[in-house]
Amino acid sequence: MVKRRLARVSDSDDEDEKEARDVTATAAGGVDEEDAVAPKPLGEVIRRVGRGKQEKRLYRAFELDGNRYELEDSVLVTPEEKNLKPYIAFIKEINQSNDGSIILTGQWLYRPEEAEKRSGGNWVSSDSRELFYSFHRDEVSAEAVMHKCVIHFIPSHKQAPLRSKHPGFIVRKVYDPNQKKLWNLTDEDYEDSKQAEINLLVEKTRDVLGDLPDIDHEDAAREQDTSDKDKRQIRKRTMMPLRINKENRLPTEVSSRKVSGGQPDTPGSSLPSEPLSEGHLVLLQAKALTKNRARDRWLEKLVQAVKYVCKLEMSTGDLPEVEDLMWPDAAVSATSSLERQAYEILSSDMHKYNIKMRQLEFNLKNSTLLAQRLLKCELDASKVLIMTPAELKEGLTAEEKSAQEPEEPETMQMADVRCAICAGVLEMWTLVVFI
C-alpha cells in the first residue's frame, strides 16, 4: 500500500505533479506492513448488491489514513505508472466485498493531454488548471486514493477565478471518451439525468465563488460550440468593405440585395469567405434582421430549424389553404416573434439567452408537433418560452397533455349485501314450487 499525506486538499496542478513524484518514490522504496492502515467503511450499510460470496455492501463514507471520504468527494488517485500525473475522479460508490476490501466507483475527469482527438493527437488548453469532465466510470481500490482536491465548474463565458483567491482545478468542457469529442459545459443537449448532474455541479461552484464576471460581452454572445482555433481566426479578421464584385456572389445573393434596397446587413456577414446562409437571406428579404450579430445568428438557426414543416412551393393553379405553412413567410413570422420575446426577457444575461436559444433550436428541429403549432400560432411565443424540456419535446403543455389522457374508470367495490327485490322474487318462487 502507498503511504499518503494526511488531511490535505490539492489546490494547484504543480502540487499534483509533486505529489505524484512523492507517491511513486515512496511506492518504489516500499512501506512496512505495520505502517499501512487498511481503509475501513464508516456508518451503516445503505444498500446490498449480490448474494452469498458475491455480496457487496455499499456505504456513504470510508476512512483512510485518518481522513474521511464521502460520496461525491473529488479526489486524486495514484497513477498506474511512474512519473504520470495523478488521476482525478468523483467518488460515486463505496462498496466492501466479503473479503473486507473496499472498491470505489469513480467518475473520471481527463487532463487535456490525456483526452484524445477523433482526428488524432490530444486536446490542448491554455490553463494548466483545466480538466475535462466525463461520464466515464470505472472501479479503483480505495487504497489508491491520495487526498481530496477542489474542482470549480466554470461556464465558458465566465472568467476563471484567481489562483491566489480560489485555488483548484477548473472545468469548462465535457469529454466523451467514446466519440473523442468535446462539448461545452453549458450545452443543453445532454440526457436529462446528465444535464441535471452538470447543472448541480455548476450551482455548487456558484454557491462557493459567487457570480463570476463575464469574459467579454462579444465572446458571451458568440456561439459556444466554436473551436478555439476558429475563434482566434475570427478575432484576427479585419472588416472588409460591404461592396463585393458580382462575379463573386451567388445568384441568390444578388437578387436578395436588390430586394433589400441596397441596405448593408450585419457587419462581417458579407465577407467573401463567409457566404450568406439561406436563413440569413430570407430574413434579409423580410427585413427581419435586428442588426445584432448574436441575435441574427440565432434567428437564422431558428428559421432553418422549422423549414422542414413548411410547404416550399405551390403547384401551378393551386390556391393556398389555411393550414398551409408557406416557406419562408410562416417561418420568419413565428421565429422572429419567439426570438424577440426571448431577448426582451433575457437580454440582461446573454448566457441564459444563448442557453434558451440552443434549447429552442434543438426542440424545434426534433419535435414536428412543436414546430407546426408554433407556426400555426396554436402556441404563443410567450408560452413556448416557459415550457419545460418534457413539454417542448412533446409539443404539448402539461394542461393539454392531461386533457388528452382518458379519464380513469371509476372502480366499483363489491359489497356483501342482498338485493331486496331479488330476495322477494326468490321467496315467491320458492312458495310456488312448494305448493
> If you average pLDDT over every residue of the chain, what do you get?
76
pLDDT of residue 88: 96
Q: What's the whole-number mean pLDDT along residues 205-210?
A: 90
Flag the least confident range among 2-16, 115-129, 141-155, 306-320: 2-16
Sheet containing 67-70: which strands, arranged edge to edge?
40-42, 61-64, 67-70
Reading the block at residue 260, the C-alpha cell is 433589400
Supply φ then ψ for residue 51, to 5 degrees: -135, 160
Residue 318 has pLDDT above 60, yes or no: no
pLDDT level of residue 428 (50, 70, 90 thresholds):
low
Kindly tell me the sign of the dihedral angle through the C-alpha atoms of 39, 45, 50, 53: positive
Query: Is 184:224 a contact under the CB 8 Å cutoff?
Result: yes
pLDDT of residue 71: 95
| 5-14, 154-163, 230-239 — most confident range | 154-163
User: 381-408 pLDDT, tens per residue?
Assistant: 889 999 888 888 888 888 888 887 776 6
Residue 70 has pLDDT above 90, yes or no: yes
**417/340: higher pLDDT:** 340
Enumerate domains of the chain plus CATH numbers: 9-215 (2.30.30.490), 235-402 (no CATH)
pLDDT of residue 14: 52
pLDDT level of residue 43 (50, 70, 90 thresholds):
very high
